[in-house]
Structure 1
Amino acid sequence: MYENTVFFRTFAADCISPFKINFMSYQFAKYATHYRNLTYLGVPIIIGQLGNIVLSFADTLMIGHHSTQELAAAAFVNNMFNLVIIFALGFTYAVTALVGNLYGQEKTGRIGELMKSAVAANTCMALILVAGMSLLYLNLHRLGQPEELLPLMRSYFLIQLVSLPFVCWFNTFKQFADGITDTRLPMWVLIAGNVMNVCGNWVLIYGKFGFPEMGLDGAGLSTMASRIMMTVVMATIFFFSKRYKEYHKGWQQGKINRTDFRQITSIGLPLALQMGMETAAFSLSSLMVGWIGTTALAAHQVMLTISQLGYMIYYGLASAVAVRVSNFMGQRDYEAVRRNVTAGFHLVLLLAVVTSVPIFLLRNSIGGLFTDNAAVTSMVSLTVIPFMVYQFGDGLQCNYANAMRGIAYVKPLIWIAFIAFFIVSLPLGYLLGIQLGYGLVGIWFAFPFGLTTAGVLYYLYYKKGLRQIEAR
């Protein structure tokens, strides 16, 4: 009982301490530097993430206005690929933690050497993911999806499969740049890639400038071209720019070694599994939504696109928390770690309000941006309610999962994510949405329970992990 009381008091203090009436007090002053630095690092990451959201909005809007069936097919395929892409992204997050720690110690040559093993490890991961998704492709007809959507799904699936390795390579170089606090470079590359993708969508989906009208396949080809371009640009800058000369020198002098490879894998796999299971709570729910029907699947895709707005903003800011924490861990400044993490949570809560309130106010019309189908638009407006409910839990789990990443205390992430998303969220979604007949809204009302469970447990284990590291 005493330990529970201490937890809730500490947790409440972390949540509300900067919002006391006297903002000029010591409570505010001790976080002010961290607010400023997190904003400086986090805003470019958020802008890059928002670029992805704009891209997802544009893809969904353009495909939705071309065909409702194509929108439903894109919903299923994108959600399956989002699962492996987020898994791959989680694996690259090991690069941020390790590079950030070395950057805090000013070991630039060692960072370049580490990058050689990082690229090798992520290439191996890309090959594994391509093999797994190829097996899924061969079994699409066994997953209970509407029969009329299968031809659309298959061709779009293959295009996405080809571009998957480029996602892994781009994110490896992006996490390196974030780890050395150069968050603006990947921001500009992402923006350029997204502009290219949107323009390519317009040309290839609708058949402009003499190109054939390719519909959903055109959207896939445009995405593939932009992913290849972004990877080439990031790799070229790493190997040939003067600003990264010292890192490139470390790359040339170093070699792929077992120690680095093992360290990247031991940190990357728990992060990948944690993020993969979190995404599975949303992506695998598409299977259940597909059982309900094409209209529900189209509304699910629209709502996922909207919900990504909050998630990407929170995770952009939380990624800055991980970068700063890893830098402080390299300097062994544990008090700065604590203040940085708490400041990050305050900012994430603020962003949750700023992001979700406009979506709630526009809930009855926002679906109409993506489709002319009145049934889909109505279903989207109902799904906004559970979206609002889970914003606190989403911000909580984003911040403290990244805090654990920053201190490289990642193994508990696996079982926490499993409990939150596979024991709580997915079964509850099946119960509410399918068994009790609440449909899409019932499936979405399971998400707040899973996300909040994850957030509270991440908070507890971040505290525990930092105490263990300080005691060494």
Structure 2
Amino acid sequence: MRNHNTKNLTLFAITWPIFIEIMLHMLMGNADTLMLSQYSDNAVAAVGVSNQILSVVIVMFGFVAQGAAVLIAQNIGAEKNLTAGKVALNSLSMNLVFSLFLSLILYIWAKPILNMMDLPQELMDEGLSYMQIVGGLIFVQALIMTTGAILRSYGHTKDTMVVTIGMNILNVIGNYFVIFGPFGFPVLGVAGVAYSTAISRFIGFIALVLLLIKRTNGELQLKNLFRYEKKHVQSLLKIGIPSAGEQLSYNASQMVITYFVAQLGTIAITTKVYTQNIMMFIFLFSIAIGQGTQILIGHMIGAGKIEDAYTRALKSLRISIFISLAVAGIIYLVADPFLGIFTDNATIIESGSILLLMTIALEPGRAFNLVMISSLRAAGDVKFPVYIGIIVMWGVSVTFAWFFGIFLGLGLIGIWIGFIADEWLRGVLMLRRWKQREWVNMSFVDKQEANQEA
């Protein structure tokens, strides 16, 4: 049986490619925003609201990828490579079917969905065009997420990084042609950017599939693609649905908050989009550390190394908090030039700078969540983050955002107060849960079966 060399992986070795990959994914979204900002601020706002909806949909089919990541990591740690291969193929086929269904819904009901978001009518045409093209082909992103999660769980984080680099290059080149129209190429605006995004994703998916076949030679048997084993499907759903539920609740709450922001006008929507695009470069460190920690802890749990897993999570948390504070502070010091890249609107720059100052308080709390929730999930404790997430996101983040932002009239500052309170409260509760060690006996690996396969 082929033995994957994952036991000697360090957090740095497994995390830096994840960091680059996530940064490039964010750059792909920011490239759309930045290049569209040269086209019109209205186009930016329309795409921003559409992407808020699409992010919720991505989480909905992300539940399979989340479940696969944990199951595969634990099985590899237990040296159950054939089982890991079966789980990988089952997760791919499940997500294909489910995401095709969601793509159809987004294409057919794009306009009613945007109307529910109270999108201003002057933004509707561009928002609808983007939603139908990117949303209608969103199943490709589902397959990218699943394939990428499988490769990362096997420890091949550099592969997904390289593919993401290629996707970004293709996306930027495509955007350049459809926005600026060189060599007589027609200027297609938002629709062109949507096509560029969809095409680059499709090419990236093909590359990931080829790499997956190469890296797992002999362990992925195509006959298992639609041959579901009840225990694997149950485990995927048991991990994935609660894991996605936490993210789905977060993104749904963000949609409601975006609805509040839409009531403040197009300037407020655009400010939120630009500011959060910049904030992504702060918390991507915590996302990368969280994902790397999840892979390592999954391997440790599968191998029965409980104390190593416990210590690994706390070390990762300390690193993430320190980096978040440092980067948030640096970003604030150069806030005006950063915002000036996107717009020359003085109101947007002034408001965005204030929000980036508040982000210094927000990001350490987010680091708690991203690292500790990933650690709990890797250990099999997937329900607790969902329960707490639903209660706090809606009871604190949404409620505070409405109370301070709309009722008291503080606008975006009030919205950010809600964000800060939400992240810190959830983060402290997740850390407490980890230290209670409720997760110790929640592994999904069948030890008896592991010994037989080994």
- Alpha-carbon distance in 1 for matches of 2:208, 2:257: 34
Amino acid at match of 1:47: I
Indicate which of 160, 165, 176 corresponds to 1:186: 160
Q: Are 1:207 and 2:188 counterparts?
A: no
Establish whether residue 129 from structure 1 lines up as the match of residue 97 from structure 2: no
C-alpha separation in 1, matches of 2:353 and 2:53? 24
**d(CA) in 1 for partners of 2:105 and 2:365?**
31
Separation in 1, partners of 2:440, 2:87: 28
Counterpart CA distance in 1 for 2:148 and 2:50 is 25
Q: Which amino acid aligns with 1:191?
A: I
Whether contact under 8 Å (1:145, 1:291) holds in the other structure is no
| Larger CA deviation: 104-113 vs 277-286 | 277-286
Partner of residue 77, structure 2: 104
In structure 1, the residue matched to 2:210 is 236
Which whole-Å deviations, capped at 9, do the CAs of 1:254-274 have from their partners, x for residues lacking one?
Answer: 932222112111110111111
Within 2, Cα distance between the matches of 1:142 and 1:347?
41
- 2:137: which partner in 1? 163
1:85 to 48, 58, 63: 58
**Aligned partners of 1:326 and 1:175: how far apart in 2?**
13
The answer to whether the 8 A contact 1:120-1:256 is kept is no
Q: What is the Cα deviation at residue 250 of structure 1?
A: 7.6
Q: Are 1:336 and 2:298 an aligned pair?
A: no
Q: How does 1:139-178 map to 2 (within 5 A)?
A: 139-178=113-152
Question: CA 1:323–1:329 in 2, change beyond 3 Å: closer, same or farther?
Answer: same
Which of 254, 261, 267 aligns to 1:282? It is: 254
* Structure 1 stretch displaced more, 106-115 or 59-68: 106-115
Cα distance in 2, alignment partners of residues 405 and 367 from structure 1: 36
Alpha-carbon distance, 1:128 to partner: 4.6
Q: What is the correspondence of 1:411-422 to structure 2 with a 5 Å cutoff?
A: 411-422=383-394
1:453 and 2:425 aligned: yes
Change (3 A) 1:253 1:49: closer
CA contact (8 A) 1:274 1:413 kept: yes
Q: Mean Cα displacement is larger for which, 372-381 or 424-433?
A: 372-381
Question: Pairwise CA RMSD of aligned residues?
Answer: 2.2
> In the alignment, which residue of structure 2 is the partner of 1:52?
25
Give 5+ residue unaligned stretches, structure 2.
Answer: 1-6, 448-454
- The one-letter amino acid paired with 2:27 is V
SS at match of 1:313: helix
2:228 matched residue in structure 1 = 256
Relative to structure 1, the CA distance from residue 468 to residue 245 in structure 2 (aligned partners, 3 Å threshold; closer, same or farther) is closer
Task: Read off the aligned partner of 1:408 and give its amino acid letter.
Answer: G
CA deviation profile, 1:143-202 (whole Å, cap 9, x unmatched): 322111111111111011122101111111111111111111101111111111111111
State the shift of 1:468 in Å: 4.7
The amino acid across from 2:84 in the alignment is I
Identical-pair percentage: 22
User: What is the CA-CA distance between 1:57 and the residue it aligns to?
Assistant: 2.2
Q: Which residue identity is paired with 2:424?
A: T
Aligned partner of 1:305 among 273, 277, 292: 277
* Structure 1: tracts of 5 or more residues without a match: 1-33
Offset at residue 123 of structure 1 (A): 2.1
What are the equivalent positions in structure 2 for 1:306-385 lying under 5 Å apart? Answer: 306-385=278-357
Report the TM-score when normalising by structure 1.
0.87
